[in-house]
Structure 1
Amino acid sequence: MDLQIAAALVPLLGWAVHGGVLTHRLAAARRDPLTGLHTRAGWTARAEHCIRRHPATAVLLVDLDHFKDLNDTHRHAAGDAALIATADRLRTWCGRHGTAGRLGGDEFVAVVQDLAAVDLDALTTALHRPLPYNGVSLPLAASVGVCRLAELPVPLLTDALAAADAAMYAAKGRGRRGSRLSR
C-alpha cells in the first residue's frame, strides 16, 4: 500500500516542481535583469492597479540626460553603473508609496499613489547626485516628467504616460535640470 501511495505522489511532486520553475521564470521575465526594476509589462500591471485604487495617483517618466556621452566616454560598464544607480535612487524614492520600472535603455517610469506624499525635489536631487565609479565621479542628470491622473479628463495610464512624456521633454528643453508637471 505504501508503495502505491509513493508511486502516485511522484508525478504530483514533479508537477509541483515544474510549476514552481515556471512561476519563477515568469517572475524573472517581469524584472529587468540589470536593475531589478519591473519591466514594462510588470510595471504596467502595478500602475493600473494603483490607478484603480488611488485617485491621487501620479505617473513619472525619467530619462537620463547625456547618457550616450557617458557611455561613450567611460564605456558600457560605467553606463550600466549609472543605470543601476538611477534605478536604486528611483526605487528608494518611491518607497512604499509607489512602484518604479525600467522601460528600456535609459528610460525609467514610476507610479506613486499620491504625489503630495512624496518629495519631487528630493527625487530630482537624488537623480543629479554624481556617481563614484572607479576613482572618478560620473556626472548624472535626468529629466523628469510628471502627470497627475486627476488632471486628465479620463484617468487612463496611456494618457498619463503621454502627458508625462510631454512634460519630460519640456523639462529637457528647460536646460535638463529638474522636473515638470504636465499641464
Structure 2
Amino acid sequence: MNGLLHTLSAAGPLAAGWGIHGLWMRRRLTAARRDPLSGLWTREAFESRAARTLARRPHVVVLLVDLDGFKAVNDRFGHAAGDAAIRATAASLTDALNERPGAVATRLGGDEFAAVIPLTEPGGLPWLLRGLHHEITAPFRHAGRDLTVGASIGAALSSDLTSEASRPGEALGALLRLADEAMYAVKRAGGGWHYPAMSAPAAGTTAGRRTGRPGTHTTYRKGAA
C-alpha cells in the first residue's frame, strides 16, 4: 500500500507537468493560427471554421471588407499608423462577432478582411452592415492623433445560393466571389456597403474585377452605400 502511495505521489508532479505542457502546446498551436498583426484567424483556420458554420446554419452572411484611404494613412503618418488601422478594423470585426456563435473573421492580407456571420433572420443584414461600416470608419487613436480610414464592404447571403453550390466548401468559395464583386462595386462608387441579389445570372450583366470567373455574373439589388 505504501509503495502504491509513493508511486502516485511521485507521478503527481509529472502529470501536472504534462498538463502544463499540453496547455502551452495548445496555446502555441492557437497562436500559430492567428495573424500576428490583427489577431484574427489565418486563412486556413478561417476556411475550416467558416465551412462548418455554413453547413450548420440556414442564414449566413459572408463579408469582404477592403479599407479605403489606407495607403494615404501609411504614406502620411507611417507604417505604424497603418498597423494601428489594421488592428482597429480587426477589433471592429471582433466586436461584431462576439455575440454570434459560429461567426469567424480573417485578415486575407494587406488591408482586406473577410468574415462569416450567422444571422437569425436575413432581414437584419442591413443593420449589421450599417453598424459595422460605422464602427470601422470611426476615428482610432494613434500617437496622439485621431485618424480615420474608409471602408468598402460587400456581402453575400448563403440562403440565396443555388443548389449547385450548396456544399460548404463550394458555398464558401462562391459566396466569397460574390461578396468580392459587391465590395468592388461599392468601392468604385466611393465606399460604403452593398448586398447584391444573388439571382440567376443575367445575360450580359457583369460586375467587378473578377468578371468571367464562376459566380461573378449577377443582378444587383439596390443597396446602401
- Decide: shared fold, TM above 0.5: yes
What is the CA-CA distance between 1:32 and the residue it aligns to?
2.0
User: Which residue number corresponds to residue 207 of structure 2?
Assistant: none
Q: What SS does the aligned partner of 1:96 have?
A: coil
What is the CA-CA distance between 1:12 and the residue it aligns to?
4.2
For residues 95 and 102 of structure 1, what CA distance do their matches in structure 2 show? Answer: 17
Indicate whether 1:116 and 2:116 are aligned.
Answer: no
The verdict on how the C-alpha distance between 1:14 and 1:133 changes in structure 2, with shifts beyond 3 A counting, is closer
What is the CA-CA distance between 1:3 and the residue it aligns to?
4.2
Q: What SS does the aligned partner of 2:98 have?
A: helix
User: Which residue number corresponds to residue 166 of structure 1?
Assistant: 181
Q: Which residue identity does 2:172 align to in structure 1?
A: L
User: Which residue number corresponds to residue 43 of structure 1?
Assistant: 46
User: Which residue number corresponds to residue 125 of structure 1?
Assistant: 134
User: Which residue number corresponds to residue 98 of structure 2?
Assistant: 95
% identical aligned pairs? 41
What is the CA-CA distance between 1:134 and the residue it aligns to?
2.7
The verdict on how the C-alpha distance between 1:135 and 1:5 changes in structure 2, with shifts beyond 3 A counting, is closer
| TM superposition outliers: structure 1 runs of 4+ over 6 Å | none
The verdict on how the C-alpha distance between 1:14 and 1:135 changes in structure 2, with shifts beyond 3 A counting, is closer
For residues 101 and 16 of structure 1, what CA distance do their matches in structure 2 show? Answer: 30
Give TM-score, length-normalised by structure 2. 0.72
User: Which residue number corresponds to residue 178 of structure 1?
Assistant: 192
For residues 153 and 108 of structure 2, what CA distance do their matches in structure 1 show? Answer: 14
For residues 68 and 99 of structure 1, what CA distance do their matches in structure 2 show? Answer: 26
For residues 14 and 89 of structure 2, what CA distance do their matches in structure 1 show? Answer: 46
Q: Tell me how many residue pairs correspond in the alignment.
A: 182
The verdict on how the C-alpha distance between 1:3 and 1:159 changes in structure 2, with shifts beyond 3 A counting, is same
The CA RMSD over aligned residues, in Å, is 2.0
User: Which residue number corresponds to residue 149 of structure 2?
Assistant: 140
Q: What SS does the aligned partner of 1:145 have?
A: strand
Give TM-score, length-normalised by structure 1. 0.87
User: Which residue number corresponds to residue 64 of structure 1?
Assistant: 67
Q: Larger RCO: Structure 1 or Structure 2 (Cα < 8 Å, ≥ 6 residues apart)? A: 1
**Cα shift readout 1:127-177 (whole Å, capped 9, x = no counterpart):** 2223233343323101111111122222311111111111111111111x2
Indicate whether 1:23 and 2:26 are aligned.
Answer: yes
What is the CA-CA distance between 1:10 and the residue it aligns to?
5.6
> Highest Rg: 1 or 2?
2
What is the CA-CA distance between 1:69 and the residue it aligns to?
1.9
Structure number having the greater helix percentage: 1
Q: Which residue identity does 2:178 align to in structure 1?
A: A
The verdict on how the C-alpha distance between 1:143 and 1:8 changes in structure 2, with shifts beyond 3 A counting, is same
